[in-house]
Amino acid sequence: MKFKISFMMLLISALSYSQIGRTYPDGHGDRVFFPYGDISFADEVVSFKIGDPGPIEGFGPEEALGIPNYEGNPNKYFATLGYGGELVVRFTDNVLYDIPGPDLFILEIGALTEPVDAYISKDGKDWISVGRTDGGFSALDIADYVEKSDVFRYVKVVDIKAKKGGKWPGADIDAIGAIGSSINFQLNAAVTFDTGKAKLKENTSELADIAKKIKDLKGLVLIEGYTDNIGSTESNITLSKNRADAVKNFLVDNAKIDAKNITTKALGESNPVADNATEEGRQKNRRVELIVFQNTEIEQKNVTGTWKTTKNGNLRIYRYGDVIAGWYENDGGEILGKMSDDHTMQGQWIENKSGKTCNTAIYDRKNWGSLVLEFNEDFTEFKGQWGYCDAEASTTGWDANRN
């Protein structure tokens, strides 16, 4: 058996954290893997109707946004719906769509598990029921309720009135995430196009920047064109189609992205993200959205699983496409990175304490370093090298076998 350690550095600063997979605490002692990392979670509160009775001591609906962060803290970081309460949230830098297996993740915390009815929507108006959670950590599969190619940006959770009493009546939501996630880039039409025109402006730097990121993601691209509600429905459809096509042509001609991997949709004035009654709102509605779906399997068995390490107990590793994330069962230490070739993972380790404290933090932790894991041919063991902070991974002894 031969291991070949490569020393190519993958500096964390060169990576965009928002798009790196990570495992997150599920509020009940386990962790759950999101291959798109922090962007997977809900970004904005659209509306909140607090239940009756509401919590004696409540925390705002914003506590349900962003990454799971409750981690057993008894009095913070979750939104209590109240008895029969209703919360609507929106994704802005990602979308929800159907992938094999569960897609929508609702993290409800606390000793009492309180179910919610979950709904999803494309526009925040027409809702599709996607089932009832059991309370606690819940992952719902939307497959039975949607078309394969549909994308959703709104989620509604409604407390089912299971439990009326206590300090926090109703479900307590820490986070809402899309496991079946993808990355959503928004292009403001005012920056990209002249008013009413579909020809790209001279300065295409914003689009070029997005195109580069899309090319690196190597996925299937959906381009959606949208307008405000000024003008006829028909002319708005035409304008949004022409703009989506102009963006597609740019991706093909300038970024050399294969045209067969790009689909366009002309949506005209539908799905407004802001109020068309104001100029500011109309400006936000005039936009082109680019959604990238990575064409990979949710789990790749050769790496995903529990590994028995020589020094630190069990390490649980997950893989989605090239993305790797993992955590140690005994101390919550984490690893994250990417497969740089068939058998090599390059990335970082993060701990709560270590022999050296770095100047910068990763996920609020200043104890981290470089890590290279080299898997053997049949993925039954790996050998690793590591270093502190951004020093080269050159210390040996980070080894494990399949558990």
CA 199, CA 247: separation in Å to the nearest integer?
A: 9
Beta strand 400-402 with 128-132: parallel, antiparallel or unpaired?
unpaired
Q: Which of 103, 172, 224, 374 binds Ca ion (CB under 5 A)?
A: 103
Residue 143, interface with Ca ion (CB under 5 A)?
A: yes
Single out the residue of 334, 256, 292 nearest to residue 93, CA to CA.
Answer: 292
Residue 139, interface with Ca ion (CB under 5 A)?
A: no
Judged by CB under 5 A, the number of residues near Ca ion is 13
Residues in the chain: 403
- As a whole number of Å, the end-to-end CA separation of the chain is 19
Please state the closest distance from residue 279 (CB atom) to Ca ion, in A.
27
CA 5, CA 204: separation in Å to the nearest integer?
A: 41
Please state the closest distance from residue 293 (CB atom) to Ca ion, in A.
13
Helix (H) or strand (E) holding 158: strand 154-159
Specify the residue, 57 or 342, whose C-beta has the smaller distance to Ca ion.
57
Site for Ca ion in 65-94 (CB under 5 A): 69, 77, 91, 93-94
Please state the closest distance from residue 140 (CB atom) to Ca ion, in A.
8
Using alpha carbons only, give the angle 154, 115, 325 rounded to the nearest 5 degrees.
Answer: 65
Q: Which of 3, 9, 15, 43 binds Ca ion (CB under 5 A)?
A: 43
Residue 46, interface with Ca ion (CB under 5 A)?
A: no
Please state the closest distance from residue 150 (CB atom) to Ca ion, in A.
12
Single out the residue of 211, 215, 237, 212 nearest to residue 226, CA to CA.
Answer: 237
Tell me if the bond preceding 115 is cis, omega within 30° of 0.
no
Please state the closest distance from residue 64 (CB atom) to Ca ion, in A.
6
Specify the residue, 33 or 77, whose C-beta has the smaller distance to Ca ion.
77
Phi and psi at 325, nearest 5°, equal -145, 150
Please state the closest distance from residue 182 (CB atom) to Ca ion, in A.
11
Q: Which of 174, 269, 289, 374 binds Ca ion (CB under 5 A)?
A: 174
Binding site for Ca ion (CB under 5 A): 39, 43, 63, 69, 77, 91, 93-94, 98, 103, 141, 143, 174
